A = this chain, B = another copy of it.
Amino acid sequence: MYLRNSWYIASWSRDLADTPIGIRMLERPLVLFRDSAGEAVLLDGRCPHRFAPLSRGVVQGDTLMCPYHGLVFDRAGTCIHNPHGSGMIPPGAKLRRYPVVEKNGAIWAWMGEADAADPSQISDIDWLCSPDYACITGHIKVQANYQLVVDNLLDLTHAPFLHQDTVGGRPEDSIGARMTHDFRTDPDKTIHSDYCVDPMPRPTPQMRPLWGERPSIFRSNMTWRPACRLELDISLAEPGANEPSLHLPSLHYLVPETDRSTHYFFAMGRDVMIDDEEQTRIMAEFARRAFEDEDEPMIRAVQDLMGTSDLMSLRPAILETDKAAVQARRVLALLIRQEETVPA
């Protein structure tokens, strides 16, 4: 059901400070905290003694103390202190530690075989920490299977219908013959779902404060990397121009929490008016509305209407614009099968 040998985001860097964070990833309860050097540590989230939630524990230097009976664990997950009686520590008092890499503003976690964790596979997102961009990050929970969120993101033709007042704009401005699409799969299983609208008579509501009402060439390039990293590059160019004048990149990093719930970590940047904090506030509000008020209720409703059924078992009507999403489901199913044959 899940691809374990894959990098998932556990938190945005800015969201992890002195107190531990509890997060369930691929159904496993985990605890994330920073040691005395500020390095992120990710451990099993329940104490091996009485299964208390370590996310309610206390970080003390390089250690984490259980909130229930005070057992203390080091960064490797080993219990190094039992404050009671003779202080004897039973041999099983050990937490699994998961490989973690912090890079460009995000904390990446590896849920599979530790030996297979290759940090070079982590996305190299330079804009999120670049002085040339103004950025926001966020996190919401979607009450649906993560594959339904991937489907949503790989087919952005839903935007002018579901996001008319935020990131979509009017259908007549973007879809149909105006829009060309290009869906393709790279040899390394990366999938691209790219759209171009030339010309787009006026931009989406989200882009109007940055671009105004004039026409543009609109390009939306979505990249999916297994299991569920989606990186979206939106740009506007002057009609006839080759180079874009406005770059609006965004990240959509999903983490399966359970079979029916998904962490949705998002980030968005812009390369214009970058010192205008009011514009940053507006950008954050557009993102929140689009993902939390528009996407999440729709995807949750789809999950409710599907019940426990698998999407494909319900034989959905497949449109041309589903090509990338269908391909991603096939690639992911293949990778999960391969992993199960040689379990992590």
Contact = CB atoms under 8 A, between A and B. Distances in A.
Contact of A93 (B161, B298, B317, B320): B317
A67 B164 CA distance: 11
Interface in A49-101: 49-53, 56, 65-70, 79, 82-88, 90, 92-93
- Copies of this chain, whole number: 3
Contacts of A305: 29, 45-46, 51-53
B50 A302 contact: yes
A4 interface: no
Interface stretch (A32-40, A130-138, A152-160): A152-160
Contact of A82 (B46, B158, B319): B319
A162 interface: yes
B67 A176 contact: no
Interface footprint category on A: 35 or more
Contacts of A319: 49, 69, 82, 84-85, 88, 90
A315 interface: yes
A79 B317 contact: yes
A29 to B, nearest CB: 6
Interface string A138-152: 000000000000010
Given A67-B162, A162-B67, A316 B85 contact: no
Contacts of A179: 84-85
B315 A84 contact: no
Contact of A320 (B51, B86, B158): B86
A16 to B, nearest CB: 21
A116 interface: no
A314 interface: yes
Interface in A155-175: 155, 157-158, 160-162, 171, 175
Contacts of A65: 161
B171 A83 contact: yes
A185 interface: no
A103 interface: no
A196 to B, nearest CB: 13
Contact of A52 (B49, B85, B93, B301): B301
Residue among A29, A45, A70, A315 with max Cβ neighbours from chain B (10 Å):
A70
A247 interface: no
A317 B50 CA distance: 8
Contact of A161 (B68, B85, B157, B320): B68
Given A70-B160, A88-B319, 20 more contacts: A48-B317, A49-B316, A49-B317, A51-B306, A52-B302, A52-B305, A65-B161, A67-B161, A68-B161, A68-B298, A69-B158, A69-B161, A70-B175, A83-B157, A83-B171, A83-B175, A83-B176, A84-B176, A87-B176, A90-B317
